Every structure is written in C-alpha cells, then in structure tokens.
Amino acid sequence: MAALVASTVQGAAEADATTRSRRTPPADWAAYDYYLQGRAHYHQYEMDKGESMFARSAELDPAFAQGHAYLAQCLVARFWYDRDPGTLQSALQSARTALLLDRNDGICNQSMGLVLVHMRQHGDAGLYFQQARTLNPHDVNIAGDYASWLNYGGQPQQSLAVLERAILLDPLPPVWFWEVKGSALFLLGRYAEAIDAYRKAGDQFFIHAFLAAAYAHLGEMANAHVAVEATLSRQPDLSLGYLAHLPFADPSSFELFLSGFRKAGFF
C-alpha cells in the first residue's frame, strides 16, 4: 500500500516539477532535443557528451534558461577532472546567464548553488539550493545536490534524510545520486553501507577513491589497495593534494575522508 501511494504521489510530483521547471519553454525544439539528450548523458556521468549537447542547445536557443543551467552543471563536473579555475569560471558564467533568463526556475537556482559550492561560497550556495527546493520540492536531482551541500557542511544525518525521502519518490535516481548517499553514510561512520552505495555509483575515478577510503577505515586493506589501483588507472596523477581540493566547509568531515585516503595509500 505504501509503495502504491508513493508511486501515485510521484506521478503528481513529476508533473508539478515539470510545470515549475519549464516556466520558460524553448523557442527552438531542436534545442530542447539536444537538452534532453544532454540530460540523459549527464545523469550517467557521460560528461563530455552531455556538455556538447548542452552547448549546442544554448547555441540554438540562447534564451532557453535550462540549457545554460545544465551546461553550468556539466562544467562543474569537468572541473572535477581538470581542476582548472577557468572551467569553474565558465560554469559560473553559464549559471549567471541561466538565472538572468529565469530566476524563478528551480534548475537554474540549483546550478548556481552547485557552482558556488565548488567556489567554496557555501553560505550563498545554500540560499540557492533552498530556493531551488522551494520551486521544485520533488525534484530528485535538486535533492541530491542539496544533500551533497549538507555533506560538505558537516550535516550527513540531514543529508541522509533528504536522500531517503527522495528515493521514496524516485526509486531509480540518477547514478551519481548513490555517490552522495555513500558519502553521507561514510561521514556517519557507516562504512560498509557506504561501500554498498558507492558500488552503485558508477566507474569514475573518485568513486574508487571513496571506496578505498571506506575500505581503509574498515581495516580491509586488500580491498582498499585494489580500489587505489582502480583509481590510479583512471586518473594516474591523483594525489592527496588533489583530494584536498574537495570543497568541504566542515574540517572534521574533510579530515575523515583525508585520513581514509592516507590509510588506503594515496600520497
């Protein structure tokens, strides 16, 4: 009965979120097609493909706010790989453009929040995430980014509550959602559960790094070393210095990850 109610509520929630998130419809339907393709790639961590689709969407319809908003999100994802401040500045510009076009769009507010987290402007980021949640209260992607902000701010219990409610509404969230849940569980010291979540989160280098830290905290060093090797095979120049750039506002949360990375064998 609970599942039936949840699925019914989810249908209404999706309709409401769609209505709210498309306040300014695209003038060019080819642009919207590129946007939809970009979202499909983005939510599967296929960032290069997603970025090119969103860039094309923004080119075809410069007034379509969500095209710019998702381009900003893809650029933040690229920043995880290249650590180039210019990439983050480009993301900021895309997020600003999106908000100028539609300040009452939840995805546009979410995108600015995501950029500001990575610029370590956590207070302002929180304001944008709260506005995004007010505009799109049932959007699982907004919930996931908000929960990530809570993790970086040292509030993993609140993060986990947000994530678990979102999963009730959408039992099949985008793959990156599991990384956020894994990190909330990690910060709560629930390392075995964190590992289960991370294993659902894809094959990105940072997922393997987080797995290594979780295994190390559990004392499963053989598994930790395997995860370190998997990390370095995907990102050979990864180091503790790189991992130190994770945008934590809470020092104790950051230290928990960093100590796990050290135990696992990252230098």
Domains for the chain: give ranges and CATH numbers.
Answer: 1-138 (1.25.40.10), 172-267 (1.25.40)
- Residue 89 has a CB neighbour count (10 Å cut-off) of 14
Instruction: Say yes or no to pLDDT of 6 above 50.
Output: no
Region 127-144: mean pLDDT is 96
Instruction: Say yes or no to pLDDT of 3 above 80.
Output: no
Instruction: Say yes or no to pLDDT of 66 above 90.
Output: yes
pLDDT in the model for residue 27: 62
Task: Assess contact for 156 and 253: CB atoms under 8 A.
Answer: yes
Residue bearing the bigger pLDDT, 15 or 129: 129
Structure tokens at 145: 């980014």
pLDDT in the model for residue 178: 96
Instruction: Say yes or no to pLDDT of 23 above 60.
Output: no
Measure Cα distances from 121 to 38, 114, 241 in Å: 27, 10, 21
